Amino acid sequence: MPDRLQELIEQWRDDPSATYQTWFLWDERLKNFRSIRRGIGQVVEEIEAGRFGVAYRGSSLETIVHSVAEQRQIFRGADHAFLWKPKLRIPDIYENPPNQRAFGRLLHHCSCCSTGAEILSGIRTIDQLKIKGLGPAVANLIYFLHPTHAPPFNTAIVNGYNAITGSKVKLGSWEHYLAMREGILELNARYRDLLSNDLGAIAGFLFDVGSGRYPAPPLESEDLSDRDWDRRLAEARAEAVKFEKTALQQRDTDRTHTEVQAWIRDLGRALGYRVWIAANDRSRPYDGARLGEGCLDQLPAALANGAGAESIRLIDVLWLEAGADRVTAAFEVEHSTTIYSGVVRMLDLALSGELHASAGLFLVAPDSREGDVRAQLRRPAFSRIADLDVRYLPYGELERHRASIARFGTDLRALTEISHRLI
C-alpha cells in the first residue's frame, strides 16, 4: 500500500509556490533568525531593567514580532496574539508588572537553555501562572531560538496537523500545543529524509495543508488517530500535573531562599552598608521588584578582577563598607542544599585578600539544619574552614531580631550575638 502522506510531502517539496521553496529555502531566513534572536535579547534586557513600559505599540517586542510576521505567509498575523486588547485586557503582560517579568524570564530561560526538556520546563512554568491571553503563540518566538525543539504555532498549522493526524488540537492551550509538538516530532522523525531537523519544514507543510493548498490524505484509521491524540493529550496533562507538584515544592524553596536574601539585603542597607546580591539572583522577583534593585550593579574592581572573581560574584549576599571596597560580611543562604559550594565561595573570598580584618562570614540556614551543617563541616575537605570563623545564623534568630538590629544596630556585633560558632 503506497504511503500517501509521503507522496504528498514529495509533491509539496517540488512545488515552487509551496512554503518549502518560498520560505524554508529562502536565503534570508537564517539572517532573520539572527536579528530576531538579538531582538528577543533586547526585550529581556528592557524588562529586567524596568524600561519595557506598559504598551505594545512602539516597544521592542513589537519590533521583533513584526519581524516574525514578515517571514512570508507562514507567519502572517503572528502579531495578532501580542496586540494589546484593552477591553479584554489581554495579553496581560503590559500593565501587569509581575506577568511582564514572568514573560521576560521565559524568553531569557529559552535563550539560555539548550535541550528540549529545558524548553518544556520554561513553558510549563509560564503555563502555571495562567497569564490571561498569553498562550502558545509565544512558540513563534521560541521557534527562532530553538528551531529543532519548538515548532511554530498558528491556526493553519493546527488545522493541517488535525487534518493529517485526525487529532483535536485547540488553539490557546499550552497542553494542546505540547501534545501536538510530540506528534509533530514523531511525524518529522518518520519523514526526516524529506523534511529537516529544523521543525520549520514540517510546520510549513502543515501550514500549507491547513491553508487548503493541499488536501490531507485519508486517515489510515479514524479510531487509531483518536486514540493517538487522546494518549498524547493525556501524557501532556500528566506531565503538567507532575510539573506543578515539583514546581510548588521548588517555589517554596526559592521563595524562602529569596526571602532570606531580602532580609539580609534590607538589614545591610539599614546598617549603612553597600549590598551585593549574587549575580544569578539579582533578577529574581521579590515583593513586586527585582531582588537586586537598589544594590550594587557591579563588584569593586579588586574583587571583580581578582582571583576567584567568578565564584565570589555568586555569594548570596555581600556587605561592603560605605567608603571602602573591602567586604565586611558575606552570607550564604543554605535552605536545603549541601553547604559545599557556599563554603568554597567563602574560601575564595578569604583568599582574595579583600575581606575586612573584622569581617563576618555566615551560613544562614533553617534552625533544624544546624546539626547537618556541623556534620558536613567535619569532613576533611573543610579542614581549612576553622581558620575563617564561619558562623551559623539560624533563620529563626534572624527573623526575630532583624527589625531591632536594623533600628538600633550599628555594626556586625548583633549578628555575632545571635549566630553560633561552628568549629
**Per-residue burial over 17-30, b = 16 or more CB atoms within 10 Å of its CB, e = otherwise:** ebbbebbbeeeeee
Q: Could you please report the per-residue DSSP string of 93-120? A: TSS-HHHHHHHHHHHHHHHH--SHHHHH
Query: What percent of the chain has a predicted confidence (pLDDT) above 70?
Result: 90
Give domain status of residue 236, yes or no.
Answer: no
Give domain status of residue 363, yes or no.
Answer: yes
Q: Are residues 170 and 309 in the same domain?
A: no
Q: Are residues 256 and 193 in the same domain?
A: no
pLDDT at 246: 60
Q: Are residues 284 and 215 in the same domain?
A: no
Scanning the structure block, which residue is given the C-alpha cell 551560613? 363
Q: Are residues 347 and 272 in the same domain?
A: yes
Average confidence (pLDDT) over 286-299? 88
CA distance linking residue 109 with residue 346, whole number of Å = 28
Q: Are residues 384 and 255 in the same domain?
A: yes
Average confidence (pLDDT) over 85-97? 92
Q: Which domain holds residue 297?
A: 251-421
Average confidence (pLDDT) over 389-405? 90
Q: Are residues 275 and 216 in the same domain?
A: no
Give domain status of residue 225, yes or no.
Answer: no
pLDDT at 359: 80
Q: Is the dihedral of CA 196, 199, 202, 207 positive or negative?
A: negative
**pLDDT interval class at 220 (50, 70, 90):** low
CA distance linking residue 211 with residue 206, whole number of Å = 8
Q: Identify which of 62, 105, 100, 63 has the alpha carbon closest to the alpha carbon of residue 82.
A: 62
Among 164, 198, 220, residue at a domain's last position: 220
Q: Are residues 318 and 203 in the same domain?
A: no
CA distance linking residue 151 with residue 220, whole number of Å = 24
Higher-pLDDT residue of 381, 420: 420
**pLDDT interval class at 210 (50, 70, 90):** very high
Q: Identify which of 176, 168, 132 has the alpha carbon closest to the alpha carbon of residue 151.
A: 176
1-10, 16-25, 268-277, 288-297 — which is least confidently predicted? Answer: 1-10
Q: Are residues 210 and 284 in the same domain?
A: no
- Determine contact, residues 318/276, Cβ cutoff 8 Å: yes
Cell triple for 139: 512558540
Give domain status of residue 113, yes or no.
Answer: yes
Q: Could you please report the per-residue DSSP string of 191-235? A: TGGGS-SSTHHHHHHHHHHHTTSSPPPPPS-HHHHHHHHHHHHHH
Among 204, 220, 236, residue at a domain's last position: 220
pLDDT at 112: 84
**pLDDT interval class at 223 (50, 70, 90):** very low
**Per-residue burial over 202-211, b = 16 or more CB atoms within 10 Å of its CB, e = otherwise:** bbbbbbbbbb
Higher-pLDDT residue of 27, 405: 405
pLDDT at 224: 46
The three-class DSSP label of residue 308 is: coil
Q: What residues contact residue 251 under an 8 Å CB cut-off, 6+ apart?
A: none
Give domain status of residue 12, yes or no.
Answer: yes
- Determine contact, residues 187/170, Cβ cutoff 8 Å: no
List, for residues 224-280, the tens digit of each pLDDT value: 456 676 777 677 677 767 656 665 555 545 558 889 999 999 999 999 999 999 988
The per-residue pLDDT of the chain, averaged, comes to 86
Give the pTM.
0.61
CA distance linking residue 171 with residue 162, whole number of Å = 12
Q: What residues contact residue 189 under an 8 Å CB cut-off, 6+ apart?
A: none
17-21, 208-212, 244-248, 335-339 — which is least confidently predicted? Answer: 244-248
pLDDT at 175: 93
Give domain status of residue 243, yes or no.
Answer: no
pLDDT at 375: 80
Average confidence (pLDDT) over 71-84? 87
Q: Are residues 142 and 277 in the same domain?
A: no
Q: Is the pLDDT of residue 358 over 80?
A: no
Q: Are residues 67 and 159 in the same domain?
A: yes
Give domain status of residue 362, yes or no.
Answer: yes
Total structural domains in the chain? Answer: 2
36-40, 80-84, 376-380 — which is least confidently predicted? Answer: 376-380
Average confidence (pLDDT) over 211-217? 87
CA distance linking residue 144 with residue 335, whole number of Å = 37
Q: Are residues 209 and 260 in the same domain?
A: no
Q: Are residues 42 and 140 in the same domain?
A: yes
Give domain status of residue 242, yes or no.
Answer: no
pLDDT at 306: 81
Average confidence (pLDDT) over 185-190? 94
Angle formed by the axes of helices 174-190 and 222-270, to 10°?
Answer: 120
Residue 417, burial from CB neighbour count under 10 angstroms (0-12, 13-18, 19+):
exposed
List, for residues 57-73, the tens digit of each pLDDT value: 999 999 999 989 888 78
Q: Is the pLDDT of residue 13 over 90?
A: yes
